[in-house]
Structure 1
Amino acid sequence: MIIYILLGIIVLLGVLMVSAFNRFAKNRNLVKDAWGNIDVALKRRYDLIPNLVETVKGYATHEKETLEKVIQARNTAMQVPEGDINAQIKAESQLQHSLRSIFALGEAYPDLKANTNFLDLQAKLSEIEENLERSRRYYNGTVRENNTYGESLPGALFAGMLRYQHFDFFEADAGSRENVKVDFS
């Protein structure tokens, strides 16, 4: 009789483990798929940034430091190893912060603000940012599902054995809620 009870417990644990493994795999794949949507928009943004910087250079020649920071942030974001989503999120936060400073320059230079090329690039970047926002919401939903399962029962029991991966949320950085200061002194 005790053998049947032990056998039943082992079978139950086996079923729970297989179920947890499948759920971890499903959640991880959903997160990676959601990140793929973000990655496409990020690559479009990376391609647009050099054109934007070149357009601004002609009008804001003494803002070289601001433009260099944007290019440096872009290059840093592009060099994050493929698949390191958490590191990519940190790099994107820096890039987003530096991009806001370019648009602050557009406000400070009326000729730049009236330039059709700048306005076109700004509109394209705005479209990319809207796509990123939608993709970010979906990504954060999949991350929430993944992290919740990995941190609650029964997932937490098997997390270490089954290669559970915690993902960071892709949120706007704290600096994005502040006004950009442009100093011409």
Structure 2
Amino acid sequence: MGVIAGAVVVVLVVVVVWWVVRTYNRLVRLRNQTQASWAQIDVQLKRRHELIPNVVEGARGYAAHERATFEAVTAARGAAVNDGLGVTDRAAAEDALTATLGKLFALGESYPELKADQHFAAVQAELRSAEDKIAYARQFYNSAVQSYHTALESFPGNIVSGFGGGHGRREYFEAAGAPQEAVQVRFA
């Protein structure tokens, strides 16, 4: 009987250790996925930041007296390029940059020569493409964060995450003007 009880205890210990290791490794994989998906956002944001001087210079030749708009775009880009920002602050800086870019693109509507300029149109199209890629990367990142948070808060992840390894909550990368509550539609 003692041999069987010892074998059962050994099997239970092995199962518990396997369970803890498997859960811990899942948390590490999910944490790394959030970091990798944030890196994709960062790549797309840097691409966007590199395109902005081109569109500003292209517009400046046609609308030289719109100096305040150019300065606002340049200042917003400078704030957004700061790598030391956290996710929430980075999102706010990117939202401000998006707003100033909207004003810059509105100049294209005010100046037909600028709107017809091939270089300005090409850079504007590239920026739109970058915006689409940022939106996709943001969605992928937020999904990875959600999966990570679910694993952290669910059993057994909530127990195993306390063993160390830097498992903590991540911030979501919120889109500009994201609705805070669902819009209610009513039918008469």
TM bracket (short chain): 0.7 to 0.9
Question: Residues of 2 paired with 1:61 and 1:144: CA distance?
Answer: 46
Question: Residues of 1 paired with 2:15 and 2:89: CA distance?
Answer: 38
Question: Residues of 2 paired with 1:57 and 1:157: CA distance?
Answer: 58
Contact in 2 for aligned 1:48/1:125 (Cα 8 Å): yes
Contact in 1 for aligned 2:88/2:174 (Cα 8 Å): no
**Which residue does the alignment assign to 1:110?**
112
RMSD over equivalenced CA pairs, Å: 2.9
**Which residue does the alignment assign to 1:23?**
26
| Equivalent residue in structure 1 for 2:79, among 76, 81, 86 | 76
Aligned residue pairs total: 174
**Which residue does the alignment assign to 2:149?**
147
| Equivalent residue in structure 1 for 2:172, among 163, 169, 172 | 169
Contact in 1 for aligned 2:87/2:172 (Cα 8 Å): no
TM-score, scaled to structure 1: 0.77
State, as a whole percentage, how many aligned pairs show the same letter.
Answer: 36
Shift of 1:30: 0.7
Indicate the larger mover: 150-159 or 109-118. Answer: 150-159
Question: Residues of 2 paired with 1:155 and 1:140: CA distance?
Answer: 19
1:92 aligns with 2:101: no
**Which residue does the alignment assign to 2:125?**
123
Q: 1:67-90 CA deviation, whole Å, 9 max, x = no partner?
A: 2121112112212228x4444333
| Equivalent residue in structure 2 for 1:63, among 63, 66, 84 | 66
**Which residue does the alignment assign to 2:103?**
101
Indicate the larger mover: 166-175 or 13-22. Answer: 13-22
| Equivalent residue in structure 1 for 2:159, among 157, 160, 163 | 157
Amino acid at match of 1:26: R
**Which residue does the alignment assign to 1:53?**
56
Point out where structure 1 has 5 or more consecutive residues left out of the alignment: 177-185
Contact in 2 for aligned 1:52/1:121 (Cα 8 Å): yes
TM-score, scaled to structure 2: 0.76
